[in-house]
A and B are shown apart, each in its own frame.
Chain A
Amino acid sequence: MDITAWAKDLLVSRGALVEGQDGDSFRALLPDEVSQALGSSDWLSLRFGAVAGADDPGEWLERLGQLVPSDPRIVNARLRRMPTAPRIDAIAVLDRELAIQNGIYRFVEDYSATSVYYLFSFFYTVESDERSTGVVNVWLNPEARSVVAQPVGLLRLIEAELDPTSDLNIDSKSIDGFYRIAAGAARIGVLGSITALETSANRHMARDAERVRSYYGSMLQQIEKRIAKRAADPEAAERERGRAHATVLDRTAKLEDLFRKHSLRVQVSLTDVLRVALPVRKISVRLIRKKEERLRDFHWNAVLRQLDMPWCDQCGGIARPLFLCEAMHCLCKTCSVGCAKCGRAFCRACQSRCKCGAPA
């Protein structure tokens, strides 16, 4: 989280000559295009930290941020030294980590290999009565149709070992499909990250709604008193009732306004995709549900030393425990529950609606 180190690295990557003075300050000789982009002279001297006369880190972060590419790119990388995945007790790993709720599996074989992983990074903005931002990472292993449960942990483990490469043979047409899965998983990640924000918004909503209710409640009470007083004059009472009706409508509108104001609007956008081959142990199993059977590979990630979890074919989230449909789709619990209307079980990956007509 050190802005000085980041600024130095950024400027060096853009061709500047940088000399550090101490931990929080440095001087740089900038190339013309960089100095123009930053609106500064050739010599740039920056000093951050809690010292008198320090530069404003917020301002410089935004200025220097202009030098960073803004559109999403796919970046290929490889491990500097590619280790071979060690032998494992595959049956024990499956016993421990794979939970199939409505089917069984039969172990076939396991062997060392490499598999290409995609790290999709998403930037999200949540707007409510205030604005909040964050980043969600999703690691996909498309070959095993699985996701990594600890996305940030995996990147930290391999970050220092990564080198750029251009020799990854990827079917670029599939990338859109991978993006769709990753975007689904990112939504689930965002929902998990904004729980505190949601709680806070609900608290604010309850507080403001209480004010509205109390205000209109007292108005309605007054109107009702007047209705009771004018019980002998039907026309006057009728007028008061009309006022009460209008007041109730107004209250409803105000509450709807509040609901809109406090509801969270989330915008998720892709920032980058990192593509990297990692050592895995491929474990082939036969998945069996009723009379259906399918051969499927699960990958044991040698860096994280854990099994990648199959993704849910419907929402892209982690399917743990794993539910199988008749067509052998892998589903998470949420996507395999019965229809909300009629209670009938149906696969949301197979059908967009239940037979009763209720949407998935």
Chain B
Amino acid sequence: MADVRRAEKRKQEIKLRLAQERLELNRAEAGHLLAMAQAERERGDFPAAARDAKKALVLSPDLPEALDLLGQMYFEGGHYTESLWYFTQLRKQSSDPAIMFDVAQVLARLGRKQEALKEYQAVLQALALLKGPRVRGLKADTLAAKARLELEITVAKPGAESPAPAVVAATLPKPAEKLPLAEPEIPRVRVEFLPAAPPVLQNQPTGSLTDYFLRRRFLELRMAQNFEDLLCLGSLNGVDTYSYQHDTVRKVLRHFKGRALLADEVGLGKTIEACLVLKEYWTRGMVRKVLVLTPPSLVSQWKGELVEKFGLAPASPDGPDFRAGPAKFWTSESLIVASLGMARLEPHASILAGIAWDMVIVDEAHCLKNRTSANWKLINSLTKKFILMLSATPVENSLMELFNLITVLKPGLLSTEAEFKKQFVTAGKPRSPKNPERLRSLLSDVMIRNTRSVADVRLPHRIASSIVVAPSPDEAEVYDRISGLVSSLHKSNTGPPMALSSLLRQAGSSPHALCRSLGRAMREETWAGPKEKRALGEIQDIASRLSGSRKGDQLGDMLASHAGKTVVFTEFVPTLDHLAEICQRRSIPYARFSGDLSRPEKDAAITRFRDDVAVLLSTGSGGEGRNLQFANTVVNFDLPWSPMRLEQRVGRVHRIGQTREVFVFNFCQEGTIEEQLLRVLHDKINMFELVVGEMDAILDSFNGNLEENREFAGVVLDLWASHDHDEGRVRAFDELGERLLAAKAQYLDTRKLGESLFERDFEV
């Protein structure tokens, strides 16, 4: 009996010790998370900071620093209810007057004024027992806040009994009691019809019919000249345009006469604005020779947008026409979209300089910031009637960058380089303007910079989570083998990177996608020798034995239990078929959307998804040009290696018009390249919760120069293939994460500079 009791006691002790150890561990981890959250907050990355602070609270629910951090952040963000909850939790733990003061402030903001007043009173009572400079400061703040609140209460309820102390009440003069301290309502503008004298019509001679129509046409022409109505709007196809964009276009056409720097914040649609200006000029017959210069990675996107949305037919220098005769191509085509990197090369640069362009558009125009660069020289050498430059970050390191941009746009506007430096650049502080008001006044002749607040684009939050699925032994073997084969071929430069990365991406997607492409790869003669074909055959044998996938099963579980409208994206049609099978097996109704459907079939799929079913299974093509705001969950069943493609997918759901929080679930298989990618994109730079367009800007900073921008997938493959072991790969991807993090910090810094430099003076 005693033995049993001893054993029981021992068991209890071990349990207690383990629990204590776990607690210690949790505390240590929570401390680490909190430190990360604080660093993220300092960097201005509030969503990441909130996420990590909440994680810390899960591990250590009473962690005061985390409660305080969250309370402060929500308070600063204007989410007072959430802020109050965190401060109240903190208040339960401590009677620190500073915390009580925070609670009182939040209560006041929430309109719970009497409670706030009591809390201020409690703060003052607590402070009465303390001494020190901090106490004095807090006391002064409390007194001021309390007096303000009492005044507000007095003004709001003149007849009501005031809880204000006698001294305040006594000193309030009568007019002061009526001070409208509450912020006044902003009235809506008035439309006022000015009185007009009635015309004299009686007994007047009649006019001629010819003159009547000539006069009508004259008025129509005059209005067209003034760009009163945007003629192009009627001919757009599937473009959501917004009033700030119309205003921007009108301003460019009417005030800037077609020469402007469009510097809207990221995600507000600079490309759409530029295309609208181009289309308006085109519709009016004012331009017939147009050159659009973009980074290489955006050429096809620009072409696609111009064709599909704006009904224009651009040419780009990648077809046989160009190869047959570049000079003829440049001179004969009326609308050309080309990469700046290519256009600046000889002989193209000289040919382009010899052509009279009606309009030139330069996307990502910050590549013109250096006056000695070939980019700047090319654009400066072009003969152009209208020019649009697009950049969300016209200044990065020095005001001289802005000078160089504007000088291409309107030479002489900012005077000479020496004069500009003398007038506007603070010595030793190249980013700080000496005479900001004058500079802004000059820039207002050429620049538009809409911000999210003017555009009223306030999108709800995105909440992303990664679902890393442990593979079955066969799945793991298939992936390991294909990964090994791809790595060795890539290292020995035997296989084309496109084909190799495609194999690896398909392996990461599903065994079904891989199986189909393995068959094709085995017929490949150029790079697959007998040894490789044998290896591919063995992999195909194992892959074809797999009937399902762990990832698919997990998705099935999720879809079966998830109630909202969900879009599941995959890059590959065989994976789409596999997902359709899973849905059928589990009796989950779904709509299927892929690039091979005809337009009416696509429309029908979207309609079915909107009206009847909760799940849309879609290939990447569903990510382009379709608005799916009525859904609020995105599942990335596989991950394209291009962050921009991921962004496009999420962007179908998380866009203007979305009113609910958007959930993003990223599926990946353990031990795959996608797991590493997700670790970098989600955990390191919090990509899925960034504002639309910010990822683009970060990648731009990351690449340093535009030519490398398209190589992100290549960078990923290089990193993966150059290491044979997990540790090395993790380290390499960590380094990639650090570089991206540095790029993000650089972007945030540039954004902050833009905000402080331009404020909101360039909005339409």
A109 CA to B456 CA in the complex, in Å?
Answer: 57
Cβ of B124 to closest chain A Cβ, rounded Å: 12
Shortest beta-carbon distance from B482 to chain A in Å: 55
For A121, the chain B residues whose CB sits under 8 A away are 216
> Contact between A268 and B196 (Cβ–Cβ < 8 Å)?
yes
Q: B223 and A61: CB pair below 8 A?
A: no
Task: Indicate if the CB atoms of B171 and A231 lie closer than 8 Å.
Answer: yes
Q: Which of B151, B216, B454 contacts A224 (CB 8 A)?
A: B151
Contact A1 B184 (CB under 8 A): no
**For the complex, what is the distance from the CA of A58 to the CA of B218, rounded to whole Å?**
11
- Report A224-240 residues with CB < 8 Å from chain B CB: 224-225, 227-229, 231-232, 234, 237-238
B173 & A203 in contact (Cβ 8 Å cutoff): no
**Interface status of A154 (Cβ within 8 A of chain B):** no
- The total number of A-B Cβ pairs within 8 Å is 220
Contact (A50, B285) CB under 8 Å given A61-B225, A231-B143, A266-B192: yes
Q: Which B residues are in CB contact (< 8 Å) with A173? A: 202
**Which A residue sits closest to B226, measured CB to CB?**
A133
Task: Identify the closest chain A residue to B231 (Cβ).
Answer: A1
**Given A251-B184, A265-B192, A73-B206 contact (CB < 8 Å):** yes
Q: List A contacts of B213 (CB < 8 A).
A: 159
Q: Is the CB of A244 within 8 A of B140?
A: no
Min CB gap B231→A, angstroms = 8
Task: Please judge, given known A-B contacts A50-B287, A224-B147, A238-B173, whether A200 and B247 are in contact too, CB under 8 Å.
Answer: yes
Say yes or no for B181: interface residue by CB 8 A criterion. yes
Of all chain A residues, the one with the shortest Cβ separation from B180 is A248
CB-CB < 8 A to B194: which residues of A? 265-267
CB distance from A159 to the nearest CB of B (A): 8
Cβ of B418 < 8 Å from any Cβ of A? no
Within 8 A of A (CB), among B170-205: 170-173, 175-176, 179-181, 183-184, 186-194, 196, 198-199, 201-205
A190-198, A331-339, A345-353: which one contacts chain B?
A: A190-198
A90 CB, min distance to chain B CBs, angstroms: 33
CA distance A342 to B356 in the complex (A): 70
Task: Name the distance in Å between B285's Cβ and chain A's nearest Cβ.
Answer: 6
A162 CA / B212 CA spacing, docked (Å): 12
In the assembled complex, B144 has its CB within 8 A of some CB on chain A = yes
A327 CB-CB contact with B under 8 Å: no
B277-327, CB < 8 A from A? 284-289
Query: How far apart are the CA atoms of A123 and B186 in the complex, in Å?
Result: 31
A26 proximal to B (CB < 8 A): no
A339 to chain B, nearest CB (A): 22
Chain B 205-229 near chain A by CB (<8 Å), digits 1 or 0: 1111111111111111111111011
Q: Is the CB of B144 within 8 A of A225?
A: yes
CB-CB nearest in chain A for B167: A231
Would you call A179 and B198 a contact (CB within 8 A)?
yes
Assess the A266–B193 pair: CB atoms within 8 A: yes
Q: Are A50 and B211 in contact (CB under 8 A)?
A: no
B760 at the interface (CB under 8 A from A): yes
Contact assessment for A194 and B167 in the assembled complex, using a CB-CB cutoff below 8 Å: no
A187 within 8 A of B: yes
- The reply to whether A9 and B284 form a contact with Cβ atoms under 8 Å apart is no
| B561 lies within 8 A of chain A by Cβ | no
In the bound complex, CA of A176 to CA of B192 (Å):
23
B598 within 8 A of A: no
**What 1/0 mask marks residues of chain A from 130 to 162 whose CB sits below 8 Å from any chain B CB?**
001111000000000000000000000001001
For the complex formed, measure the closest distance between the CB of A127 and the CB atoms of chain B, giving whole angstroms. 9
B196 lies within 8 A of A269 (CB)? yes
Q: Report the Cα distance A259→B190, complex, angstroms.
A: 8
Tell me, rounded to whole Å, the shortest Cβ–Cβ distance linking B481 to chain A.
59
Q: How far is the CA of A221 from the CA of B147 in the complex (A)?
A: 11
Contact of B193 among A159, A252, A268 (CB under 8 A): A268
A76 to B207, CA, bound (A): 8
Tell me if B183 and A228 are in contact (CB < 8 A): no
B270 CB–A CB distance under 8 Å: no
B527-572 CB contacts (< 8 Å) to partner A = none
- Are the CB atoms of B144 and A228 closer together than 8 Å? yes
> Would A234 and B171 count as touching, CB distance under 8 A?
yes
Distance from B253 Cβ to chain A, minimum over Cβ atoms (Å): 12
A121, A200, A205 pick with most chain B CB within 10 angstroms: A200
CA distance A262 to B190 in the complex (A): 8
A3 and B221 contact, CB distance less than 8 A:
yes
Task: Evaluate contact between A228 and B201: CB separation under 8 angstroms.
Answer: no
| Interface presence of A17 (CB below 8 A) | no
Could you give, for residues 159-177 of chain B, a 1 whenever the CB lies within 8 Å of some chain A CB and a 0 otherwise?
0000000011011110110
Does B763 touch A at the CB level, under 8 Å? Answer: yes
In the bound complex, how far is the Cα of B216 from the Cα of A202, in angstroms? 31
Chain B residues 127 to 171 lying within 8 A of chain A, measured CB to CB, are 140, 143-148, 151, 167-168, 170-171
A196→B211 CA distance, assembly (Å): 32
A196 touches B246 (CB 8 A): yes
Contact A224/B191 with A69-B207, A72-B201, A270-B199 known, Cβ cut-off 8 Å? no
A264 touches B189 (CB 8 A): yes
Of the residues B183, B212, B222, B225, contact of A73 by C-beta under 8 Å: B212
| Residue-wise interface mask of A (117-128) relative to B, using a CB-CB cutoff of 8 A (1 in contact, 0 not) | 000010100001
Q: Which residues of A contact B287 (CB under 8 A)?
A: 50
Q: Report which of B144, B209, B215 forms a contact with A164, defined as CB distance below 8 A.
A: B209
Instruction: Contact check, B183 vs A217: say whether CB atoms are below 8 A apart.
Output: yes
- The one of A76, A135, A232, A270 in contact with B220, judged by C-beta atoms closer than 8 angstroms, is A135
Q: How far is the CA of A273 from the CA of B244 in the complex (A)?
A: 37
* Cα(A191)–Cα(B190), bound, Å: 11
The answer to whether the Cβ of B243 comes within 8 Å of any Cβ in the partner chain is: yes
**A61 in contact with B140 given A75-B206, A135-B223 (CB within 8 Å):** no
A49 interface contact, C-beta 8 A: yes
A residues less than 8 Å from B176 (CB atoms):
241, 244-245
User: Hey, which chain B residues are within 8 Å of A132, CB to CB?
Assistant: 228
A305 CA to B187 CA, complexed, in Å: 44
Chain B residues with Cβ below 8 Å from A73 are 204-207, 211-212
Chain A residues near B199: list those with CB within 8 A.
71-72, 179, 269-270
A57 to B, closest residue via Cβ: B225
Q: A228-B146, A265-B192 are in contact. List 20 more A-B contacts (CB 8 A).
A: A50-B285, A50-B287, A61-B218, A61-B221, A68-B218, A133-B228, A135-B223, A164-B209, A176-B198, A203-B243, A203-B454, A207-B763, A220-B181, A224-B151, A228-B143, A252-B184, A259-B190, A267-B193, A268-B193, A269-B196
19 contacts between A and B (CB under 8 A): A6-B218, A13-B210, A74-B201, A74-B206, A75-B209, A75-B211, A77-B209, A179-B199, A198-B189, A201-B189, A205-B189, A221-B148, A228-B148, A229-B143, A238-B171, A245-B176, A248-B180, A252-B184, A273-B201
**Which 10 residue pairs across A and B have the least CB separation, nearest first?**
A73-B207, A228-B144, A228-B147, A225-B144, A164-B209, A241-B176, A263-B190, A209-B186, A75-B212, A75-B207
